[in-house]
Amino acid sequence: MINRTINRKSIQSLDRIAITLIAGLTVVIAILLFQGDHSVPRVRSFTWQDKQIGVEHDRFAITFTRPMDRVSVETNLQINPPLPGKFSWAGRRLVYTLISPAPYGTNYQLSLQKATDKYSNSGKSGAILQPFNAQFRTRDRAFAYIGVEGQNSGQLMLVNLSAPEPKPIVLTPPDLVVSDFKAYPQGDRILFLANDRNSQRQGVLQQKLYEVTTGIHTNPPEQQSVSQEPAGKLKLVLDNKDYQILKFDLSSDGKTIVTQRVSRSNPGDFGIWTLQPNSSPKPLQGQPGGDFLITPDSQALAITQGEGLAIVPIAGSQDQPLDFLPKYGTILAFSRDGLAAATVKFNQDFTRSLFLVNTQGTEKEIARINGSIVDAEFDPIGETLYCLFTKLVAGEQYQEQPYIVAINLKTGETKKLLEFSPNQRQVQMNLSPDGIGLLFDQPLITPQPAAGISDAVRTDDNAAIVTSRLWLLPISSISTTDESNVPKPEELPITGVRPVWLP
């Protein structure tokens, strides 16, 4: 009886304690609800924070801890130096899309202050965002070229214009003479075709495909395998034991190499082969060869076939092309998004036409000349096409005079940027990935037979290159409608040929 009385009193005491706690918590909750939410909205993530971006990175995202007042965010978001762009929203996530690529070799500061959230203190001004500051940068402004003088003749060279002291860096050993090269997407490695120097001196084709590191280490927003090796680490990619390698291309994702090869034992065995990482070369069935170019999506190949261009898949069956363009003899370039291509038509009157062909089937002639259409490159946003043309020079000897023009693809207006002397037919150009600089060379050649006893770098028609100046033409302010606004090229203190910007 006594124990029952004690237990009843204990239970009653616990009930009173529980009721008191519940009442206290209720009061606290009521006070919090009355006073509102005092937590501060914050930036949860910024996709470019402390990263290094390239031309393919055209948008960033900022995610907040709560829904924000969009106008206050858009008004107070600052990027220094400025990067014009457009805002879009999906809940708490802001996406900022650049109007044009961010110039390379630049450090950027992003700040967001005084922005407010959307729902705090219903009917009152929102809570102010915790100040957010971040930084990011673009890739270095760097380019590679082939040396032509002294001990660097035939060697692959690199210049990083963003370095404190830009100077040429030797990437390849002296016993190799480089003929062509392509950079991997992150600029950390370069794929190149080279002959050994003894074979070069004897005029014998013994080219092999190599890979070399550049020493440029990027930190992209997405997870990618980027080489951290110093410059000059060499790796053999494809030998020439059974097949001679004539030319190659590298896909924009860096995962596929396409080569044109001919069998040493059977010259009739001539065609195009594909090479994937950690696998052996595979022939592209039913494709005997011709000039080729990998599409920007890295999934297909444009190949010249007789009286037209065939687009064939790299993987799967190549018996039937994805598309066929019967009028064109050469494809020069694709736009970065793959929606347009610059192609060449050889006309019956011995003129040549430059056509713009898009994925909707539209074909538009944008130039017709009596010389040669040597090269063409789209600017990063696909609005301007930079072209290297030649024109015939009247005289007793056949001569072609090179010149560079910019074609506005919206208006069709053409503006001449540079004109070279008639004896400089071997000029090559390359547009920077951010679209603000054009590199070109001016090689001086020695015709055969002098080239036959030289280990010098050769032109496509086997003439030896004696020397060559490199030039940089700034084009960020070019307007095809303003004839007076013609930039002047800057001569670089470097001798070399075939300059190519790193991506």
Q: DSSP H helical segments within 162-303, as ranges?
A: 197-202
pLDDT-wise least confident of 49-58, 243-252, 378-387, 452-461: 452-461
Domain count of the fold of the chain: 2
Q: How far apart are CA 456 and CA 435, in angstroms?
A: 32
Q: Are residues 182 and 112 in the same domain?
A: no
Tell me: the pLDDT tens digits for 187-206?
999 999 999 999 888 888 89
Strand, coil or helix: what is 28?
helix
Question: Is the separation of the CB atoms in 208 and 239 below 8 Å?
Answer: yes
Task: Please provide the average confidence, as pLDDT, over all residues in the chain.
Answer: 89
Average pLDDT over residues 160-164: 94
Residue 8 forms part of a structural domain: no
330-334 and 340-346 beta bridge pairing: antiparallel
Q: What is the pLDDT of residue 317?
A: 67
State the residue range of the domain holding 66: 43-137
CA 412 to each of CA 215, 352, 356: distance values in angstroms, whole numbers, following the listed order: 41, 17, 11
pLDDT at 371 over 70: yes
Residue 5 in domain? no
In a domain, 16, yes or no: no
Name the strand (E) or helix (H) holding 5.
Answer: helix 2-35
Residue 389 included in any domain: yes
Q: Which CATH number does the domain housing residue 467 bear?
A: 2.120.10.30
> 441 falls in which pLDDT band (50, 70, 90)?
very high
Q: Is the same domain home to 191 and 258?
A: yes
Do 165 and 267 lie in one domain? The reply is yes
pLDDT over 90 (residue 179): yes
Identify whether residues 125 and 148 lie together within a single domain: no
Q: What is the pLDDT of residue 39?
A: 74
Residue 483 pLDDT level (bands cut at 50, 70, 90): low
| Whether 203 and 77 share a structural domain | no
- Number of other residues whose CB lies within 10 A of the CB of residue 414: 15
Burial of 258 (0-12, 13-18, 19+ CB in 10 A): buried
- pLDDT attached to residue 20: 74
Q: Are 198 and 58 members of one domain?
A: no
Q: What is the CATH number of the domain that holds 113?
A: 2.60.40.3710
Identity at 314, one-letter amino acid code: I
**Which of 83, 113, 137 is the last residue before a domain boundary?**
137
CA 87 to chain centre: 24
User: Which stretch of 71-85, 231-245, 301-315 has the lowest confidence by average pLDDT?
Assistant: 301-315
Tell whether 455 and 350 lie within a shared domain: yes
Quick one: pLDDT band at residue 298, thresholds 50, 70, 90?
A: very high
Mark out the alpha helices in 161-196 (DSSP H runs). none
Domain shared by 313 and 456, yes or no: yes
- State the first-to-last Cα distance of the chain, in angstroms, to the nearest integer: 91
Residues 489 and 385 in one domain: yes
Q: What is the pLDDT of residue 201?
A: 84
How is residue 128 written in tokens? Answer: 């102010």
CA angle 240, 198, 496 (to 5 degrees): 95
Percent of the chain with pLDDT over 70: 89
- For 15, other C-beta atoms within 10 Å of its C-beta total 10
Q: Give the helix/strand (H/E) hosting 346.
A: strand 340-346
Q: 471 and 455, same structural domain? A: yes
Q: Span 277-305, mean pLDDT?
A: 88
Q: Do the domain assignments include residue 28?
A: no
The answer on 63 and 106 residing in a single domain is yes
Q: Does some domain include residue 157?
A: yes
* pLDDT more than 90, % of the chain: 67
Average pLDDT for residues 271-282, to the nearest whole number?
91
pLDDT (tens digit per residue) in 116-144: 998 765 545 678 999 999 999 999 999 99
Q: What is the pLDDT of residue 7?
A: 54
Q: Which pLDDT score is estimated for 2?
A: 45
Q: Would you say 357 and 365 are in contact if contact means Cβ atoms under 8 Å apart?
A: no
Q: Given a cut of 80, is residue 321 above it in pLDDT?
A: no
pLDDT the model gives residue 6: 47
The answer to whether residues 501 and 435 touch, using CB atoms and an 8 Å cutoff, is no
Q: Is the peptide bond before 174 cis (omega within 30 degrees of 0)?
A: no
- Does residue 204 lie within any of the structural domains? yes
- Mean pLDDT for 242-267 is 94
Q: Calculate ∠ Cα 155-474-367, nearest 5°.
A: 95
pLDDT for residue 105: 97
Residue 331 has pLDDT above 80, yes or no: yes
- Whether 131 and 146 share a structural domain: no
Final residue in a domain of this structure, among 118, 137, 156: 137
Gap between the Cα atoms of 157 and 61, Å rounded: 37
Among 108, 137, 166, residue at a domain's last position? 137
Burial track 139-156 (b if 16+ CB lie within 10 A, e otherwise)? bbbbbbbbbbeeebbbbb
pLDDT top residue among 23 and 311: 311
Structural domain includes residue 461: yes
